[in-house]
Amino acid sequence: MAYTVRDLVNYLETVAPPSYQESYDNAQLITGNPNAAVSSVLCTLDATEEVVAEAVRLGCNVIVAHHPIVFKGLKSLTGKNYVERTVIAAIKHDIAIYAIHTNLDHVRHGVNKKIADKIGLSHTRILQPKKQILSKLTTFVPHEHADAVLSALFDAGAGKIGEYAGCSFLATGTGTYTASAAANPHLGVREKPHREPETRIEVLLPSYLERKVLAALRKAHPYEEVAYFLHQLENENQEVGAGMVGELPEAMEERSFLLHLKKAMELQVIKHTALTGKPIKKVAVCGGAGIFLLSAAKSAGADIFITADIKYHEFFDAENQLIVCDIGHYESEIFTKELLKELLSQNFPNIALYLSKVVTNPITYL
């Protein structure tokens, strides 16, 4: 079966919806024709000139990267910097570049879960869940159509709470209406008041699915005019947010854990605050620059917080309550390319998938 670039993009955006990315981000298809057939895919942390050259050598016409090569608008394409040269090379060789960045950081089985798995954490949860990304739909259906409408809503993505699917609240009542002379009522008679026993249905849904769920509601509902309420919720979505916290199978002495971390994440160096003298059991992580989550890590009772890009004065904020580690931005996220390959292999088993061997880390250590 032949797949298009659009097929890959649509799948990846069900895994990590673009609406979950930060406002500064540019997670999307950056170069390439969405309708082009996919030959093979190169998975990478960064899309650089060297990575594009690697894709050409391997015969890949798609690069799936974590970091977007373009963050800001380009006003020219003259090759004056590495960003422009990378984009020019990709266009020249008909290579599509797709970036899946902070949206992949924010999903339950994304970047931070990969880090947690490498370290060996269990009982993981989102460290700082996002708010205002859930909606509640309330609608009213004749009793005999309630199951069909519920099924349509569930199929469209509503009714999922954590590890539970098919979640709803149902109540019974009486709906009233008077159809006009121009109406075509499913039940009742034109221009006469009608009362109908109805089921009240309430379901939660990710806000980005509102249009899809409403379309499913209208298609499955028997009424000509569908009554419903849609509300955005303040509730935290426990499946979406920044960072992750989990537990080791057994508590470890601090230095032993740091050596374990260095081996598991294949690190050359770890910058960290003073040891606290307490064993390590609960571990908080955030790939990339995550010091903004330090308070959340403390509140979660973490014994150690692992992230990157920490400034000098920010290390003081640990205040000996926990160990804070900076393992490097590249190092914290390098296994994301493995995650990308794993995700794509689940849905596109017939497409050749490659892990980039180019070391894109701009930092070297003496």
pLDDT in tens, 138-165: 999 999 999 999 999 999 999 999 889 9
Binned at pLDDT 50, 70 and 90, residue 47 comes out as very high
Q: Are β-strands 122-131 and 134-142 bridged in parallel, bridged antiparallel, or unpaired?
A: unpaired
Residues 22-40: tens digit of each pLDDT: 999 999 999 999 999 999 9
For residue 128, give the nearest of 298, 329, 309, 334 by alpha carbon.
298
What is the pLDDT at residue 72?
86
pTM (two decimals): 0.90
pLDDT the model gives residue 177: 94
Angle made by CA atoms 318, 320, 325, in degrees to the nearest 5: 50
Q: Tell me what pLDDT residue 73 has.
A: 85
Predicted local distance difference test score (pLDDT) of residue 163: 85
Mean model confidence pLDDT for the chain: 96
* b/e per residue 15-53 (b: at least 16 CB within 10 A): bbbbebbeeebbbbbbbbeeeeebeebbbbbbbbbbbbe
Q: SS3 of 222, please? A: coil
**Quick one: pLDDT at residue 92?**
97
CA distance 197 to 14: 37
d(CA 315, CA 272): 8
pLDDT reported for residue 11: 97
Q: Are strands 228-233 and 236-252 parallel, antiparallel or unpaired?
A: unpaired
